[in-house]
Structure 1
Amino acid sequence: MSTFTELHLDERILEALHAEGYRTPTPVQAETIPALMDGRDVLGIAQTGTGKTAAFALPILHHLAAEKPANGRPIRALMLTPTRELAAQIGDRLRVYGRHLPLYSTVIFGGVGQSPQVKALRRGVDVLVATPGRLLDLHQQGHVDLSEVQHFVLDEADRMLDMGFSKDVDRILRLMPERRQNLMFSATMPKAIGSLANDMLYQPVSVDISPEAPTTDRIEQYVSFVRKQDKRELLIDLLEGQMVSCGIVFTRTKHGANRLAKQLEKVGIPADSIHGDKSQTARTRALERFRNGEVFVLVATDIASRGIDVEDITHVFNFDLPNEPEVYIHRIGRTARAGREGLAYAFCDESESGYLVGIQRLLGHDIEVLEDQPYHFEKARPKPGQKPGRVKGSPVGGPSRRGTGRGRDMRRYNRGGQKRREQQQRSNKSSGQGRKPNNRSQRGQRSDQPNRPSGGRPPQPNQRRGKQQGRSNASNRRSSNRSHRSNRRQPRRDDRS
């Protein structure tokens, strides 16, 4: 397929593509568009940056433009994506490709007020781009009707399931007509994705655009063996010594991304962070600062990074190694785009050596070791014959959705106290004492027991005194540190305003 004209798309779409400088379809576009034009379902295996948005958006716009919308302009195409950034990107592309078409599209996602989204839905839309949570919220409120959807796109399906949206996707599928065209794109094909594809797709055309080897061949890769506590200093040395003009640093957790960005700012390196806990406004602002060169380092988590669309990234730093080798390939693929060259650094501490084994096995070669650095730690190097995967005691991924261990313990502690209080209330009712004691100190206590916190073990006298004194001292230290940091950071905050 040499040109877009050969794909027999609507002339108005071709005009928009020509204005954008689109000449030759990418491999994923050349294989996907004809299948969708014929009305077939498609299962696509492709990474971000392969042109897959145009691959599904162009034929869907073509079909919708050929039909007259029904009264009220119901939703005829739904594009579901896991993150706000991806949803916004797809929405932007739809406006570009369909600028000459009498079609309406809108984007809905969480993290922002829903009133503007509801107003757009009331006016009527042909194409809806959404994240699962906000879509289901607005459906429950009666603002979204999916009963006339003809085309459904599930983008980044693997990441969708990784983020825990499996049940939400199932619910959304049940809200749409059974007769519809389906398209699923995923960067990887784990068993869960294969099972979902079997349920969702009917005799699909498979499009497999594996990452091209030349892409990684244009990337100089290095690994540094380092203690976990020395990673930050090593990163600062590399950022200052490499003259980084546009770099991404990947961390495992949202808190780690925030903390690292602040630490870089503190030593004079312009940086910002992007992750799922940030508001949409804050994430958009961070991306704009990165694109405009206001900051040249962006600290990101893997999920949030799916929405980063910057072509001239020169450096990628794996501050924390991913536990999935494919994620490493996806990370370093952020650099060396459009024929350019790039640099990728991986920091490996002793607990991550098994992850490095898996990454090197996928690459088919060992990554060059950067030994000429002051924080080299030989014990972090993988042992001969070591198997890939998690090293005992190492972190698996991001923070658990159920919270930290201490949080679970405290909830268990509180539930125990609540259970005892309920038993006491039932006992009081059976003995004719229907009202709760007015004295707050008496609630949840038995009359034959000395005062103690309800719902918990009675503290040992010696231990209690020591713990209280320790907490008091720690609190004073934290208060002093906060005051000191606040005074020290105040000029920086004024400069930014």
Structure 2
Amino acid sequence: MDWAENQLRHLLQQTWSLEDRRKILKSHKIKITNLTSLSAEPVVQTVTKKSKKKHVEAVPPSRKKIKEAARVYPQPLTKFGLLQPEYNVSTTLARNISEQGYYIPTEVQLAALPLLLGGLSQDEPTMKEKFATRNDIDLLTVAPTGSGKTIAFLIPLIHHLSRNRDKAERHVSAIILAPTKELVSQIVVEGRKLCAKTGVHISAMRKGMSLDASSNAFDEIALHEEPHGGDEEPSNTEMSSVVKSDILVSTPLLLSNSISSKKLPNVKHLILDEADVLLDPLFRDQTLSVWNACTNQSLRTSFWSATIGASIEDLVKAILATRQRSVSTTTPPAPLIRLVIGLKDTSLPNITHRLIYAATEPGKLLGLRQLLHPTSSSSASTAQSPLRPPFLVFTQTITRAIALHSELRYDIPLPAGGSSRIAVLHSDLSDSARSDIMTRFRKAQIWVLITTDLLARGIDFRGVNGVVNYDIPTSSAGYVHRAGRTGRAGREGGVVVTFYTKEDIQYVKPVANVIAASEKLRDQQQQLKSPGQGPSNHDPKFHQQQPQPRIQKWLLDALPNVSKSDRQRLKKRGIETRRSAPLATNTTNNDASQTKKQKREIRQARISTKSGFDRKMEGRKRGAREGSKKRKEMGVSAEAEGNEEGEWGGFED
């Protein structure tokens, strides 16, 4: 039986040569670089020529050669069935992976899993036996939205914890940070499916959970409770149920407030999902407080996002270098590996993008209503596929999301579900309300979900057919993440519609560049799928058969470039008039510090189809009702005072 099992393992194992690995990774547009060796200073040797008695310095290697020397070509994981024979993944974990329907890895899984499970020693046959216990790299991964990054970091994490877990005492050994509660809940749900019967427990950080300083363990209210709920404080009976978890998933603020100044020496794995946001100034202090609390010298970190810029990469390298200097050890630091899938800051090529000029705010509202109620004449004239529900609508602020919801809530006919088919989701809602809306949207009970950038990152809605950017995103990365809510896991047919007005023209070019790059990538993939078929590029019929690009070259040339200061201001503040715009139900803005021009711009940014006269009349009626109510209250009080003074006796003679 052992012989048959060994033969099966031998058949399943696939060892690729270096040249084969290069071809496989290149065909999938995977680039892996050892940033530690890349940042090392090249050694310049001095050569002495005896004949001429002078020193000649050797020419340092070119930048291209340095980059090529830093490239890494691990054994690619061509199917999940190889996890067990190649990396000694437990039978239970392998079964959980299979039961979830994972058979063929995506690009990020194809490259990340071998790196996290096998490290960098895969070219040494003598190191094969150490694959199951090694995790000696820090990984920075840039991969498209919906490409399976969550599974790529959960599988190695669960594998290492199940192998090295202290069964006598459970404590938090791994922390996963995510920017929103919704993403935290999603990670926990996926993690519990993979952790089933492995002995590894994963839970979400919630209100009512406290840190036990003696064992660095988090006391959870209920391990098997779904990772969502209301804001109510747990009762005494709930607090008596104490369970310790191996993996803790949390937002930075919640966890940093909980640990305060405590240390977490038992934590050996730190994962930052949506790392560019977590290390952005908005979350940076909270994230670094958690990172600094993890004092274990063997701490391994990984960073995951669809958009990680050079500034975030430099920050990561600086923090890792600082931590290494603070640790008094002669052990060399773990290498920092960068894994890039495809092109940076590029949207998925399987998504259709539309950039629509709406001129004004009423124009955007009209355009959105045309998407909700497409006519046969308009769809035939544009020759574009209609945007089918369910879809997401993104606005810049919570105020605008609420106003847009108030304007559209009765647009869907009552026989089709009426106002229950449209909902709004934002951070001001309670946890229970947010969870209920998310559940209804996943069940397709909600067709149109209006939200802010709260749902722009990480949330996996596999059935979403489209995304509408009612307000333009504040950066190109924001557009990539918003667009990534559709077209998940390679699903075709996703549509992203972006409305922009006259005010947006000076800021919209980064979005147009992302769309143009995505369309170019799609054309390249179509040519690779059918090489040599059909007419050539020089044939006029070729251009007639190809779909016209959504972004014309004349538009890219005409749109103004966005300066660095404008990009920073837009990312931090958004469009200023939309921050100050009142709700659709409001009628006036009496801020004396605002100029007439500012007031006019704020009025123009209002989300409403009502005319100024109608709003004025509604305001008068509202004021009349309030005045009548006050007069009645004053009349009652005056009558009471008169009764106390006694009855009037008439005028004196």
Q: TM-score, normalised by structure 2?
A: 0.56
> Is the aligned partner of 1:254 residue 2:386?
no
- Within a 5 Å distance, the mapping from 1:49-128 to structure 2 comes to 49-69=146-166, 71-109=168-206, 112-113=231-232, 115=234, 119=239, 122-128=242-248
Distance 1:226 1:13, change over 3 A: same
> Is the aligned partner of 1:190 residue 2:329?
no
Q: Is this contact kept in 1: 2:391–2:464, CA < 8 A?
A: yes
Q: Is this contact kept in 2: 1:335–1:343, CA < 8 A?
A: yes
Aligned to 2:79: 3
> Is the aligned partner of 1:227 residue 2:360?
yes
> Is the aligned partner of 1:327 residue 2:407?
no
- Within a 5 Å distance, the mapping from 1:232-381 to structure 2 comes to 232-241=365-374, 242=386, 244-268=388-412, 270-337=421-488, 338-364=490-516, 368=550
AA at the equivalent of 1:357: K
Please report how far the alpha carbon of residue 87 of structure 1 lies from its aligned counterpart in structure 2 after TM superposition.
Answer: 0.6
Unaligned ranges ≥5, structure 1 = 371-380, 407-412, 414-472, 484-497
Q: CA separation in 1, counterparts of 2:304 and 2:288? A: 16
Distance 1:124 1:25, change over 3 A: same
Aligned to 1:139: 259
Please report how far the alpha carbon of residue 35 of structure 1 lies from its aligned counterpart in structure 2 after TM superposition.
Answer: 1.8
Q: CA separation in 1, counterparts of 2:343 and 2:294? A: 33
Distance 1:326 1:275, change over 3 A: same
Match of 2:341 among 192, 209, 233: 209
Distance 1:392 1:20, change over 3 A: closer
Aligned to 1:416: none
Please report how far the alpha carbon of residue 383 of structure 1 lies from its aligned counterpart in structure 2 after TM superposition.
Answer: 8.4
What is the percentage of aligned positions where both structures have the same residue? 25
Cα offsets for 1:302-325 (capped at 9, x unmatched): 233325321122222110111312
Aligned to 1:387: 561
**SS at the partner of 2:204?**
strand
AA at the equivalent of 1:227: T
Q: Is this contact kept in 2: 1:253–1:399, CA < 8 A?
A: no
Unaligned ranges ≥5, structure 2 = 1-76, 120-134, 208-229, 321-333, 375-385, 413-418, 520-548, 583-592, 594-616, 628-653
Q: Is this contact kept in 2: 1:253–1:397, CA < 8 A?
A: no
Please report how far the alpha carbon of residue 120 of structure 1 lies from its aligned counterpart in structure 2 after TM superposition.
Answer: 9.3
Q: CA separation in 2, counterparts of 1:172 and 1:296? A: 38
**SS at the partner of 1:42?**
strand
Cα offsets for 1:248-277 (capped at 9, x unmatched): 111111221122122211333621122222
Match of 1:158 among 271, 276, 279: 276
Please report how far the alpha carbon of residue 51 of structure 1 lies from its aligned counterpart in structure 2 after TM superposition.
Answer: 0.8
> Is the aligned partner of 1:41 residue 2:215?
no
Q: CA separation in 1, counterparts of 2:151 and 2:97? A: 10
Q: Is this contact kept in 2: 1:353–1:382, CA < 8 A?
A: no
Please report how far the alpha carbon of residue 131 of structure 1 lies from its aligned counterpart in structure 2 after TM superposition.
Answer: 0.8
Rg comparison, structure with higher value: 2
**Residues matched between the structures, number:** 404
Q: Is this contact kept in 1: 2:456–2:481, CA < 8 A?
A: no
Please report how far the alpha carbon of residue 21 of structure 1 lies from its aligned counterpart in structure 2 after TM superposition.
Answer: 0.9
> In angstroms, what is the RMSD of aligned CA positions?
3.7
Q: CA separation in 1, counterparts of 2:175 and 2:292? A: 13
Q: CA separation in 1, counterparts of 2:580 and 2:358? A: 28
Q: Is this contact kept in 1: 2:422–2:448, CA < 8 A?
A: yes
Please report how far the alpha carbon of residue 200 of structure 1 lies from its aligned counterpart in structure 2 after TM superposition.
Answer: 4.2
Please report how far the alpha carbon of residue 116 of structure 1 lies from its aligned counterpart in structure 2 after TM superposition.
Answer: 8.3
Q: Is this contact kept in 2: 1:84–1:109, CA < 8 A?
A: no
Please report how far the alpha carbon of residue 114 of structure 1 lies from its aligned counterpart in structure 2 after TM superposition.
Answer: 6.0
Distance 1:89 1:200, change over 3 A: farther
Please report how far the alpha carbon of residue 244 of structure 1 lies from its aligned counterpart in structure 2 after TM superposition.
Answer: 2.7
Please report how far the alpha carbon of residue 278 of structure 1 lies from its aligned counterpart in structure 2 after TM superposition.
Answer: 2.1
Cα offsets for 1:316-351 (capped at 9, x unmatched): 211011131232233223223433212222111011
Q: Is this contact kept in 1: 2:423–2:448, CA < 8 A?
A: yes
Q: CA separation in 2, counterparts of 1:123 and 1:479? A: 57
Q: TM-score, normalised by structure 1?
A: 0.72
AA at the equivalent of 2:497: Y
Please report how far the alpha carbon of residue 47 of structure 1 lies from its aligned counterpart in structure 2 after TM superposition.
Answer: 3.6
Q: Is this contact kept in 1: 2:109–2:149, CA < 8 A?
A: yes
Match of 2:109 among 29, 34, 47: 29
Q: Is this contact kept in 1: 2:457–2:481, CA < 8 A?
A: no
**SS at the partner of 1:237?**
helix
**SS at the partner of 2:558?**
coil
Match of 2:266 among 137, 143, 148: 148
Q: Is this contact kept in 1: 2:231–2:430, CA < 8 A?
A: yes
Q: Is this contact kept in 2: 1:106–1:120, CA < 8 A?
A: no
Aligned to 1:20: 100
Distance 1:256 1:13, change over 3 A: same
Aligned to 1:491: none
